[in-house]
């Protein structure tokens, strides 16, 4: 018998109860010291910048980057930018939501297959899920541009099946942008879903079928509710980056599919209208925060039902 198993009998075994380990007084502070550099970095370059962003969004819009801006508490910036850019804002949320739902459908099938049906190929399949995403995001999106091009195989097939008019195209349509979003953010859905589904005790599903539930009933009464934590984190991890993304809209869409990210980026770099860009960024952040809070609350109550 090894020393470790001998020690196992002496030590409290549950990892959650580690604090009871005898610690010298100095160790209380060690935690803070370990935490300090990282926390400092996050405060300086994540929290403080948010404050700068709020300030920027309230500057006088008549200033320029070179001359500097006056702080005039211009809450009107929010109203004016909203009037100018509510369409891309609403469009982003719409595209993001549709892409997230499609990701949920595809991701659930894949995560379920890996967790329950892949047997000894589980690790291999997990690697296969992540592998395509080691290639650059932009290079992959350019590949979709090639695949979806006019006169390409996909467009021609859809035209042959009369799913697309003879002059119909995919590029520069919402379909292409949403398809790009689905593709690029799918792993953010699959991995949390897999983590949740993989934990489900298979005996619960067997018990349901022993008690004569039909497979679909068993799925909706057992598997789905138990996988809800994965569904919630997966949808959030997909929705949030998808709403803010503008690479897909730019490479696969046209100005008609412009998303809020395109607008913010252009306001900063081309138009140099920092207050408007700041106000839009803040609105995006607040909107997402509000939606996430409502969503988590709803999901939480559903879980209890």
SS3 content of the chain, % helix, strand, coil (to 5): 80, 0, 20
Q: Which is nearer to another protein, 162 or 259 (CB)?
A: 259
Q: Which of 219, 216, 190 shows the shortest CA–CA distance to 204?
A: 219
Figure out which of the listed residues 82, 138, 204, 293 binds another protein, where binding follows CB under 8 A.
138
Q: From the list 64, 70, 132, 297, which residue makes contact with another protein (rule: CB under 8 A)?
A: 132
Q: Which of 279-297 are b and which e, b meaning 16 or more Cβ less than 10 Å from the residue's Cβ?
A: bbbbbbeebbeebeeeeee
CB of 221: closest distance to another protein in angstroms? 15
> Closest approach of Cβ 57 to another protein, in Å?
8
Q: Looking at 67, 83, 136, 166, which residue binds another protein (CB under 8 A)?
A: 136
Rank residues 128 and 204 by Cβ distance to another protein and give the closer one: 128
Binding mask 243-282 for another protein (x = CB under 8 A): xxxxx---x--------xx--xx--xx----x--xx--x-
Question: Least distance in Å: CB of 98 to another protein?
Answer: 17
By CB under 8 A, residue 109 contacts another protein: yes
Q: Does 290 bind another protein (CB under 8 A)?
A: no
Collect all residues with Cβ–Cβ distance below 8 Å to 193 and sequence separation of at least 6: 107, 108, 111, 227, 230, 231, 234
User: Within the chain, what is the greatest distance between any pair of CA atoms?
Assistant: 78
Pairwise CA distance, residues 220 & 228, whole Å: 11
Cα 135 → chain centroid: 19
Q: Which two tokens stand for residue 287?
A: 């909107």
Binders of another protein among residues 151 to 190 (CB under 8 A) are 152, 183, 186
Q: Is position 15 an interface residue for another protein (rule: CB under 8 A)?
A: yes
- 163 vs 159: CA distance, rounded Å: 6
Residues in contact with 44: Cβ distance below 8 Å, sequence separation at least 6, in sequence order: none
Alpha helices in 14-161 (DSSP H): 27-42, 48-57, 76-112, 122-130, 137-147, 153-160
28-47 residues in contact with another protein (CB under 8 A) are 28, 30-32, 34-35, 37-39, 41-43, 45-47
Residue count at the site for another protein (CB under 8 A)? 100
Q: Which stretch binds another protein (CB under 8 A): 77-85, 114-122, 159-167, 297-305?
A: 114-122
Give whichever of 49 and 76 is closer to another protein, judged by the CB atom: 49
Task: Please report whether residue 216 would count as binding another protein according to CB under 8 A.
Answer: yes
């Amino acid at each position: 018998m090894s020393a470790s198993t001998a020690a196992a009998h002496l030590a409290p075994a549950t990892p959650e109860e580690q604090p009871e380990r005898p610690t010298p007084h100095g160790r209380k502070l060690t935690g803070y010291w370990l935490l300090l550099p990282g926390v400092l970095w996050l405060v300086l370059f994540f929290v403080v910048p948010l404050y700068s962003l709020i300030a920027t969004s309230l500057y006088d819009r008549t200033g320029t980057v070179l001359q500097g801006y006056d702080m005039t508490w211009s809450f009107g910036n929010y109203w004016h930018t909203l009037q100018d850019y509510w369409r891309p804002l609403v469009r982003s949320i719409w595209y993001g939501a549709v892409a997230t739902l499609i990701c949920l459908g595809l991701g659930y099938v894949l995560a379920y297959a890996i967790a329950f049906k892949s047997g000894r190929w589980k690790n291999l399949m997990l690697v296969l899920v992540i592998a395509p995403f080691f290639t650059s995001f932009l290079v992959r999106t350019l590949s979709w541009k090639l695949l979806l091009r006019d006169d390409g195989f996909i467009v021609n097939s859809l035209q042959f099946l009369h799913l697309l008019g003879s002059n119909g195209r995919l590029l520069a349509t919402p379909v292409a942008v949403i398809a790009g979003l689905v593709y690029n953010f799918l792993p953010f859905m699959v991995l949390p879903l897999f983590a949740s589904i993989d934990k489900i005790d298979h005996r619960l599903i067997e018990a349901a079928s022993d008690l004569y539930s039909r497979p679909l009933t068993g799925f909706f009464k057992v598997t789905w509710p138990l996988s809800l934590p994965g569904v919630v984190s997966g949808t959030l991890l997909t929705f949030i980056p998808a709403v803010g993304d503008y690479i897909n809209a730019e490479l696969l869409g046209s100005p008609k599919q412009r998303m809020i990210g395109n607008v913010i980026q252009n306001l900063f770099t081309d138009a140099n209208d920092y207050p408007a860009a700041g106000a839009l960024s803040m609105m995006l952040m607040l909107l997402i925060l509000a939606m996430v809070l409502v969503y988590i609350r709803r999901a939480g109550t559903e879980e209890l039902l």
